[in-house]
A and B are shown apart, each in its own frame.
Chain A
Amino acid sequence: MAKVTIDGRSIEVPDGTTILQAARMIGPEVAPPTMCYHSKLKTSGGYCRTCLVEVTKGSEKDPRPMPKLVASCRTTVMDGMEVGNQTSPKVIEARKGVVEFLLLNHPLDCPICDQAGECHLQDLSYEHGSSKTRTDFERRTFEKIDIGDKIQLHMTRCILCYRCVKVADQITDGRVHGVLNRGDHSEISTYIEQAVDNDFSGNMIDVCPVGALTDKTFRFKSRVWFTKPVTAHRDCEKCSGKVNLWYKGEEVLRVTGRKDQWGEVEEFICNTCRFDKKNTSDWTLEGPAHISNQSVISANHYEVFKKPTEFKLNDIKPLKIEEGSKS
């Protein structure tokens, strides 16, 4: 076991836990934001640099601070480690820089992007970014391409998190896409415009933190905050069959995997569940999906806002209606 202190709050975690995992155990207030890390994908993380933290004390044995900021998703804790996240001015500054770099060539086309409302980059730039851009250079653009009949790739929006590459490596039977070229010319693509065609390819859409990979069966059908997520399951021979159905009225507009508190897929689902089962009769409904009340999707009132604990009914004076005003 190792004791680690993050932003002044301590927790004991098993050896081999990363700083990020430990921070998430403590709570969302101290958890660094992430873009490329995904808890269900091995070797993910380390690329985007949004989760950088400052290690002010290396460990009980070797209390020296680490010379550079470290990626919390790829650094394991040591006993006695002290970490600065939100409390470290260095981290705040570096994170602001990372957001600026990520947005440098991002089209910021949120008004017409299907990911808007559940986009990690949108949240990240709102929370950690700056309110104006400092670049007036032309942004890097790419043509949209269809990779397979169900997925569209809009490379212009991509932040190169490598999550879709890891999905293809780890849960499909063969990867046919990857990163081509290098530096800021890097792009996700299939080799010689091949189609991504396998039973689990749809998970690439779910793990994409931005709107680079979108579900062609859902494109432009609705803004996500007008759809109502409902948890449901079915007996599927290929996958767990545990999904969220996104309703608009009586119609199921899309099917996705269930995501946890951090926006990461809990269990990957197959393409049959995702693309072919869009009738309520295909599913056993479980109930309204749990949506954080910070998400815009909760505007659909699935979760009743919690009452503040100190709130007392007696504090409110009843509105007096004067008899005379009634006529």
Chain B
Amino acid sequence: MGKKLLLEHDHVPGIQGYEVYRQHGGYQSVEKAVKTMSPEAIVEEVKKSGLRGRGGAGFPTGMKWSFLAKPEGVARYLVCNADESEPGTFKDRYLMSRIPHLLVEGMITSSFALGVNTAFIYIRGEYYYIVRILENAIAEAYANGFLGKNILGSGYNLDLHVQVGAGAYICGEETALLESLEGKRGNPRIKPPFPAIAGLYGCPTVVNNVETIAAVVPIVNQGGDAYAQIGIGKSAGTKLISASGHINKPGVYEIEMGITVEDFIYSDEYCGGIKNGKKLKAVVAGGSSVPILPADKILTLANGEKRLMSYESLSDGGFGGGTMLGSGGFIVMDETTSIVENLFTFARFYHHESCGQCSPCREGTAWMEKILHKIMDGHGTLADIDLLWEIQAKIEGNTICPLGDAAAWPVASAIRHFRSEFEEYVSNPKSVKVVRHYDAMQNA
């Protein structure tokens, strides 16, 4: 069994409640932090741990924390990004619904480290049932003196609030999240200024993913150096992977970074191999926005070595031959999957979720969906494939926020690695359609 830091006790009965959580070592990090450590020392430990943002970008958390401006007399905020909306990603949902106190504990410890007296958990509207779970946990933390005024007699005050979003993917972008939290339309802000300088209500703000905040707990408990020992190279620690698709055992797995992709897909400890003895065709390794890779490229690197589950190894080969760890939404596709149909689903999603602020994303996402729809309906031409390629190239990097990139990458990678399949759709629309309908009947 691999090492577990976050989900060690996730199957203990009653772990959702304060008593059981406390018996299993809960809230030790808060005690250690407020009684024996200075805020600066905690930031230093997080820096040493090598923890990187678990929401997708993988930016070093300690560095993000050290950017936080600390002007005199101005409030600072910590916001937990629980707007987990990336298709294929459901690790935060699992963590929050199973061990809500771990997030609450992480929020308290992190807030203390950052000198924050008001913190927020911004959770997506679709997770309404988790709101209740979190609010219960927060109430228990208040009742036991871990939240509120004068926490554990240290003189440190913290209030923690849960705010429910209204259900928009874009509100997972940190500045759109802040706009939404302020009660405005969730449009991404134009950066600079970055939230570390002017975030929530114009005050310095840190926005961190649920898993990132939870990982602060073992870092404070064990020390940054011990945490850095886990994992491989610059990918320190463990990562929650949401495994879905054509695998025998879909679910959320905590892995120590550095295991091979092959192990992750085929070993019984994790995904347990491809369903129904089919062959692996492709994998989207980090949530719908990262480039899709065909079986041979996801399992092995260009130099013949096995690809590992880590930030570096997954992105080895750049965008031409690699992908990204992203948020850890691991979608496995077997040989029966149509890449074109899959891409259409993704394109429809990004079209639906574009905020419409900047022109490349607003118009481009809609255009790509229309063209893919046309190809699916058997009216596509070879020129449409080239056009798709050009549209994505003109969206990527030219937008206000990363949603444009997220919409462009799947299109680029699908055409790059599976161009023949698009050509098949275009050249033989009738046969493709028949096959599709036949398949659907077989599975029904």
Report the bound CA distance from A98 to B391 in whole Å: 10
Given contacts A137-B370, A183-B352, contact A97 B168 (CB under 8 A): no
Report the bound CA distance from A68 to B364 in whole Å: 18
| B345 close to chain A: CB less than 8 A | no
Q: Which residues of B contact A179 (CB under 8 A)?
A: 185, 356
Expressed in whole angstroms, the minimum distance between the Cβ of B382 and any Cβ of chain A is 14
Residues A96-125 near B (CB distance < 8 A) = 97-98, 100-102, 104-105
Which of B240-248, B317-325, B396-404 lines the interface with chain A? Answer: B396-404
Which of B356, B393, B399 sits near A160, CB closer than 8 Å? B356
B365 to A, closest residue via Cβ: A183
Report the bound CA distance from A19 to B201 in whole Å: 27
Q: A105, B354: Cβ atoms under 8 Å?
A: no
Q: A74, B354: Cβ atoms under 8 Å?
A: no
Expressed in whole angstroms, the minimum distance between the Cβ of A74 and any Cβ of chain B is 5
A186 to B, closest residue via Cβ: B356
Q: Which residues of A contact B360 (CB under 8 A)?
A: 49, 97-98, 101
| A52 close to chain B: CB less than 8 A | yes
Across the A-B interface, how many residue pairs have beta carbons closer than 8 Å? Answer: 88
Residues A124-144 near B (CB distance < 8 A) = 134-135, 137
Q: Which residues of B contact A211 (CB under 8 A)?
A: none
Expressed in whole angstroms, the minimum distance between the Cβ of A76 and any Cβ of chain B is 8
Q: Which residues of A contact B185 (CB under 8 A)?
A: 178-179
| B366 close to chain A: CB less than 8 A | yes
Report the bound CA distance from A312 to B190 in whole Å: 53
| B367 close to chain A: CB less than 8 A | yes
Q: A185, B394: Cβ atoms under 8 Å?
A: no
Classify chain B's interface size.
20 to 34
Q: B356, A181: Cβ atoms under 8 Å?
A: yes
B400 to A, closest residue via Cβ: A46
A101 to B, closest residue via Cβ: B363
Report the bound CA distance from A74 to B357 in whole Å: 15
| A48 close to chain B: CB less than 8 A | yes
Q: Which residues of B contact A46 (CB under 8 A)?
A: 190, 358, 400
Q: B400, A183: Cβ atoms under 8 Å?
A: no
Q: Is chain B's interface secondary structure helix, strand, loop, or mixed overall?
A: helix
Q: Which residues of A contact B431 (CB under 8 A)?
A: none
| A81 close to chain B: CB less than 8 A | no
Which of B362, B370, B394, B399 sits near A183, CB closer than 8 Å? B362
Q: A71, B356: Cβ atoms under 8 Å?
A: no
B369 to A, closest residue via Cβ: A184
Q: Which residues of A contact B400 (CB under 8 A)?
A: 46-47, 71
Which of B170, B354, B395, B398 sits near A52, CB closer than 8 Å? B398
| B353 close to chain A: CB less than 8 A | yes
Q: A182, B359: Cβ atoms under 8 Å?
A: no
Q: Which residues of A contact B393 (CB under 8 A)?
A: 97
Report the bound CA distance from A71 to B393 in whole Å: 17
B370 to A, closest residue via Cβ: A137
Which of B190, B359, B395 sits near A159, CB closer than 8 Å? B359
Given contacts A74-B190, A94-B398, A98-B398, contact A184 B357 (CB under 8 A): no
| A69 close to chain B: CB less than 8 A | yes
Report the bound CA distance from A135 to B170 in whole Å: 27
Residues A178-229 near B (CB distance < 8 A) = 178-179, 181-186
B405 to A, closest residue via Cβ: A68
Q: B398, A102: Cβ atoms under 8 Å?
A: no
| B387 close to chain A: CB less than 8 A | yes
Q: B359, A160: Cβ atoms under 8 Å?
A: yes
| B340 close to chain A: CB less than 8 A | no
Q: A71, B363: Cβ atoms under 8 Å?
A: no
| B351 close to chain A: CB less than 8 A | yes
Report the bound CA distance from A12 to B74 in whole Å: 34
Which of B353, B354, B359, B365 sits near A49, CB closer than 8 Å? B359
Report the bound CA distance from A274 to B359 in whole Å: 31
| B355 close to chain A: CB less than 8 A | yes
Q: Which residues of A contact B353 (CB under 8 A)?
A: 182-183
Q: A184, B365: Cβ atoms under 8 Å?
A: yes
Q: Which residues of B contact A48 (CB under 8 A)?
A: 358-359
Q: B398, A135: Cβ atoms under 8 Å?
A: no
Report the bound CA distance from A185 to B363 in whole Å: 10
Report the bound CA distance from A93 to B170 in whole Å: 27
Residues B390-427 near A (CB distance < 8 A) = 393-395, 397-400
Assuming A183-B352, A186-B356, what are 8 further A-B pairs, CB within 8 angstroms? Answer: A46-B400, A104-B367, A160-B357, A179-B356, A182-B353, A183-B351, A183-B356, A184-B351
A–B Cβ pairs within 8 angstroms, 13 of them? A47-B359, A47-B400, A93-B394, A98-B359, A98-B360, A101-B360, A101-B364, A137-B370, A181-B356, A183-B352, A183-B354, A183-B362, A184-B366
Task: Please provide the 3 A-B residue pairs with the shortest distance between their CB atoms, ordered closest to farther.
Answer: A97-B394, A186-B356, A101-B363
